[in-house]
Every structure is written in structure tokens, then in C-alpha cells.
């Protein structure tokens, strides 16, 4: 029998196998409602700017609390188990990975989309007008 045919056949089978098994790794972004069903999910949303943010590095360096508004406009408390990320307040969009437990979202990872610091900035004016 033609060997290259066998190889192609095996590879295609392997490909299909990987594809099926890998499709479990992929999902859409969830919202808080879906997260209530349990399990690890990724939630995309915005920082609820009118709600308090707490980071007490002195006592809990690994816990940063804030409130997130998901795409359905549901607001829930998020505990990020990491120090407070830099420029957090500037974020336009936040993606957190974690689980919802007792109505609090426990996040292990965070990705923020920030407006580029070096792009839409006003033209910086020198502090002192030179040319004296």
C-alpha cells in the first residue's frame, strides 16, 4: 500500500483528533450570569468607576478588590488575587479569568486594555518657557 497515503491518513486523523479535543479549550467570553453556573470563565467588562477599589498591600498583598460591570451591565465584586496592576484606573476594558464563588468573582488573571500612553496625549508644553 502507498505509504504516503497512510501517512496523510494518520496525520489527518491526528489533526481531527486535536481539533476536537482543543475545541474544549476555546469558549466565548462569559458574563456574570453564565459564571454563576460554576467553572473557570473569562469575563470581559469595564471597571465600575463609581464603586470603591481596595488594595491594602500592607495586610493583603495578594488581594485587590474592585467592581466590574459586565457586558450585560451587571455589577459584581471582583477579588483579583494579585497586587493591584499598574495604571488600573486608566483601563478602558478589562478581561478577568476566574470563578464566581458566593457572588464574588475570584480572578487569578487580568488583562487590561489601556489607551496608549504615548499616543493620544496632548502635546506636552515645556514647564518653563525657554529662550530667556
Q: Report if residue 110 touches other proteins, rule: CB under 8 A.
A: no
Distance between CA atoms of residues 92 and 130, nearest Å: 37
Contact (Cβ atoms closer than 8 angstroms) between residue 67 and residue 51: yes
Q: Which of residues 31-50 bind other proteins (CB under 8 A)?
A: 40-42
User: Cα 40–47–84 angle (5° rounding)?
Assistant: 75
Contact (Cβ atoms closer than 8 angstroms) between residue 78 and residue 65: yes
Among 13, 15, 16, 72, the residue binding other proteins under the rule CB under 8 A is 15
At which residue does the C-alpha cell 502507498 appear? Answer: 2
Contact (Cβ atoms closer than 8 angstroms) between residue 69 and residue 75: yes
| String marking each residue 49-78 x if it binds other proteins according to CB under 8 A | ------x-xx--xx----------------
Q: How far is the CB of 61 from other proteins (least distance, A)?
A: 4
Q: Residues in the site for other proteins, rule: CB under 8 A?
A: 2-4, 7, 11, 14-15, 18, 22, 25-29, 40-42, 55, 57-58, 61-62, 81-84, 86, 93, 95, 97-98, 106, 108, 111, 113, 116-119, 121-126, 129-131
Amino acid at each position: 500500500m502507498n505509504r504516503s497515503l497512510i501517512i496523510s491518513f494518520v496525520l489527518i486523523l491526528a489533526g481531527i483528533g486535536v481539533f476536537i479535543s482543543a475545541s474544549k479549550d476555546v469558549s466565548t467570553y462569559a458574563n456574570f450570569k453564565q459564571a454563576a453556573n460554576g467553572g473557570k470563565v473569562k469575563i470581559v467588562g469595564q471597571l465600575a468607576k463609581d464603586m470603591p477599589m481596595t488594595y491594602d498591600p500592607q495586610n493583603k498583598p495578594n488581594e485587590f478588590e474592585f467592581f466590574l460591570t459586565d457586558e450585560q451591565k451587571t455589577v459584581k465584586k471582583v477579588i483579583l488575587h494579585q497586587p493591584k496592576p499598574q495604571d488600573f484606573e486608566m483601563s478602558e476594558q478589562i478581561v478577568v479569568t476566574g470563578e464566581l464563588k458566593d457572588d464574588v468573582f475570584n480572578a487569578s488573571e487580568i488583562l487590561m486594555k489601556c489607551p496608549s500612553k504615548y499616543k493620544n496625549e496632548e502635546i506636552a508644553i515645556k514647564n518653563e518657557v525657554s529662550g530667556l
